[in-house]
Structure 1
Amino acid sequence: MSQHQTETKGSNPPIDKTAIRDASTVIVMRNRFEDPHILMGQRGATAAFMPNKFVFPGGAVDLADADIPLATPMPALCADRIAQDSARDMSHPLAVAAIRELWEETGLVLGAPGAWDMTPPADWMDFARTGHLPSAEALQFVFRAITPPGRPRRFDARFFLIDADAVSTDLDDFSAACDELSHLQWIPLPKVREFDLPFITEVVLAEVADRARDSAPPASVPFFDSSGGDSRFHRLKERLSEQERSD
């Protein structure tokens, strides 16, 4: 379940409200080993999806995300987990969407210094002006969830945890953010549940709390699958070869 949905995006086709859209959500953790804080903001009261809720930055994958170059890809372990139970490899567009949504909604840059070899699309122009290329090496795939039927929007969301030290810009400067989220703030991890949160956010936060002191990408990723009528919870983990399965 994505935390944010932009209603219109560039030249994308009109939104099919019945379709399950791929989405990326970004959990930025600050001071994770001493005093962990999580970056969150509040959705508007008139938002079609999760109005008034405090959420992580994130949103649906755009068609153009597949064509945006990355300075570095996400860790291979994370890309492998993303490929499981998926019809196609979405690791690149999901990584690009995560970086784009973090930039748009918070003004924070997850990138490496460098010049673009192409003319950036309109929604990347301001990012490029910061002198950075999007870089996905800090993204850790930690959770996947599909929105249950009957909701006004449905998403197949992959949640990515990043350490705030990987952000290239001032962690307290949200001046470049759009107006999708208000009250952007760093919330102490033990106090996050005092805010008005979506159910799935509470589930993800429990997983994040368990990983607060583990800086390595998880070998096993929880998957809350509500693609059908019934919700199913299982884990995406290392796939065994035929030889390993027969041993």
Structure 2
Amino acid sequence: MTIDKTAIRNAATVIVLRDRATDPHILMGQRGAKAAFMPNKFVFPGGAVDAADGDIPLTSQMPALCRDRLTEDADPSLVHAIGVACIRELWEETGLILGAPGTWQSSPPPDWQSYAATGHVPSAQALQFVFRAITPPGRPRRFDARFFLLDAAQIATDLDDFSAACDELSHLQWIPLKKAREFDLPFITEVVLAEVEGRLHDTAPPASVPFFKNGDEESLFLHLKGRPPTAADE
């Protein structure tokens, strides 16, 4: 399949937060020097939504408030696929499992066979939608990235075992939140870190979600507050 490098691709990024109340750490890794997008930068696990993500079953969806925020200024049919992409990217890039113990009802596709072999099925219930940003024009790749906060306590496997990770990210490590800015970070990652720091003591999904909407004509900083209520909600 040929990928249009000029198109804006939907993407999902997972910010895994460990020891939130005592000594907060976040999981990050370094992109390769030859990567077309953000080479050498330290980033959170994540990547583009695949066409097949919409077909993967979830045992539980993410919270209703988060799903509502995701539908604003976006195709509502993407919500399921974005949740699946979070779980897939976390597994592929770190080897960590977000899911529930269980057996797949049908044979998993090739990309999911190693995940399924661990005895888990995907669940998006623990994901909290906290940020959205579109890559500015002029970059070699552009993404409409949704960032999700995940408490590490919801991970089903050993938090220090990255043996099943692919080689897309090197130097995977738990970085103290207060020292994260000492690493070589993309600008948007620094912005998202500030949002995470502000949410350390608030475990509920945010009522509104910051959105950097970088378009070809203008750049806007918005807040996603969900769709207006309809008669069906009353």
The normalised TM-score by structure 2 is: 0.96
CA contact (8 A) 2:133 2:214 kept: yes
Cα deviations by residue, 1:24-77 (Å, 9 ceiling, x for unpaired): 000000000111000000000000000000000000000100000001011110
Q: 2:16·2:150 contact (CA, 8 Å) conserved in 1?
A: yes
Q: Name the residue aligned to 1:154.
A: 142
SS in 2 for 1:100: helix
Question: Secondary structure at 1:85's aligned position in 2?
Answer: coil
Q: Spell out the pairing of 1:43-192 with structure 2 (5 A cutoff).
A: 43-192=31-180
Equivalent AA in structure 2 for residue 74 of structure 1: M
Amino acid of the structure 1 residue aligned with 2:156: S
Deviation, 1:179, is 0.1
Tell me how far apart the structure 2 counterparts of residues 213 and 88 of structure 1 sit (CA, whole Å).
30
Secondary structure of the corresponding residue to residue 217 of structure 1: coil
Say whether the 8 Å CA contact 2:72–2:226 is kept in structure 1. no
Letter in 2 for 1:31: D
Q: Deviations over 1:218-237 (max 9, x none)?
A: 01000000022321101001
Q: Is the 8 A contact 1:149 1:229 kept in 2?
A: no
How many corresponding residue pairs? 231
Question: How far apart are residue 239 of structure 1 and its match?
Answer: 3.8
TM-aligned CA deviation for residue 238 of structure 1: 4.0
Residue by residue over 1:141-191, the C-alpha shift from the partner in whole angstroms, topping out at 9 and shown as x without a partner, is 000000111100000010000000000000000000000000000000000
CA contact (8 A) 1:99 1:134 kept: yes
Tell me the secondary structure at the aligned position of residue 225 of structure 1.
strand
Which SS does the other structure have where 2:11 is aligned? strand
Superposed CA RMSD in Å reads 1.1
Deviation at 1:212, TM superposition (A): 1.2
Kindly report which structure 2 residues correspond to 1:20-59, keeping only aligned pairs within 5 A, or say none.
20-59=8-47
Aligned partners of 1:97, 1:213: CA distance in 2, in Å? 27
Unmatched 5+ stretches in structure 2: none
Structure 2 partner of 1:5: none
Contact 1:148–1:229 at 8 Å: present in 2 too?
no
Give the deviation of 1:91 after TM superposition: 1.0
1:206 to 174, 178, 194: 194
Equivalent residue number for residue 207 of structure 2: 219
2:32/2:39 contact within 8 Å kept: yes
Q: Distance in 1 between matches of 2:65 and 2:53?
A: 21
In the superposition, the TM-score normalised over structure 1's length comes to 0.91
